[in-house]
Chain A
């Protein structure tokens, strides 16, 4: 139920952002469209049972957003140094998938890719690793450790 409300609110917010208005009529039309679209998206092939997002999941999303923003700033700085010709060791790093499901891997990949110094290259299904290209691959274990720690914190906050 919370997921449905979140989706409907998000769609309404996009409608209002396009219109740039908070007039009651616009909000009403937007909410009607948002609820209709969210209901349409719920049926069909997305009908498999989902775990409802909880308050803990929302908090985890906030933490993940903050972490991603921090990584973006740090990564931008590293890429600026690479561009200006500072010595560095770019290279591929393999990160074990761990217990992430397919959806979690997708979300993880997009959030990791936000930082310009980490580009998700491939998912190696045979060896169950994610291949990431880094600007500074001199210490692959530290990178793996950071991702593992972030993942564990998220798991703890969601409470599963």
Chain B
């Protein structure tokens, strides 16, 4: 009984994570602006990956569960940081371009 429940839970998490990744990718293909794409990319890099990794509870192997836990911790730390790095670069570049345009005008 417990094993079945765990298997259903894991399958659900896996499908939910992959759906989020698909939606995020679709959003990235649709939107052209860097900032809009950043949010969609954050969806793929953060919640989608974490949900897929959390599905390891149903894999039945402790080695996979502990490795996945390490990756989850790592992703939790790095995904905001890489998003911020790209956002900062885009923001400063945009500001520089508008300042150049002002100077020329």
Decide if A and B touch, CB cutoff 8 A.
yes
Give the residue of B36, B81, B83, B88 whose beta carbon is less than 8 angstroms from that of A82.
B36
Most central of A84, A113, A135 by chain B CB within 10 Å: A113
Give chain B's interface secondary structure class: helix
| Distance A94 CA – B27 CA, assembled complex (angstroms) | 25
| Distance A83 CA – B69 CA, assembled complex (angstroms) | 28
Give the residue of B28, B63, B84, B92 whose beta carbon is less than 8 angstroms from that of A20.
B63
Q: Is there contact, CB below 8 Å, between B38 and A83?
A: no
* Chain B stretch 37-93: residues in CB contact (< 8 A) with chain A: 38-40, 42-43, 46-47, 62-63, 66-67, 69-70, 76-77, 79-81, 83-84, 87-88, 91-92
| Distance A19 CA – B75 CA, assembled complex (angstroms) | 19
Q: Is there contact, CB below 8 Å, between A116 and B70?
A: no
Shortest A40–chain B CB gap in Å is 21
Determine the residue in chain B with the shortest Cβ distance to A68.
B76
Query: With contacts A79-B27, A85-B30 known, is A17 near B66, CB below 8 A?
Result: yes
Number of A-B contacts (CB under 8 A): 98
Number of interface residues of B (CB under 8 A): 34
| Contact residues in B for A80 (Cβ distance below 8 Å) | 20, 23, 43
Q: Is there contact, CB below 8 Å, between B39 and A79?
A: yes
Number of interface residues of A (CB under 8 A): 29
Give the residue of A84, A85, A119, A122 whose beta carbon is less than 8 angstroms from that of B42.
A119
Shortest B49–chain A CB gap in Å is 11
Most central of B24, B28, B80, B91 by chain A CB within 10 Å: B80
Residue numbers of A with Cβ under 8 A of B are 14, 16-18, 20, 72, 76, 79-80, 82-85, 90, 109-114, 116-117, 119-122, 131, 133, 135
Q: Can you list 18 A-B contacts with CB-CB less than 8 angstroms, sorted by A residue number? A: A17-B66, A17-B67, A20-B66, A80-B23, A82-B27, A82-B36, A83-B24, A83-B26, A83-B31, A109-B84, A110-B81, A111-B80, A119-B42, A120-B80, A122-B88, A122-B91, A133-B38, A133-B87
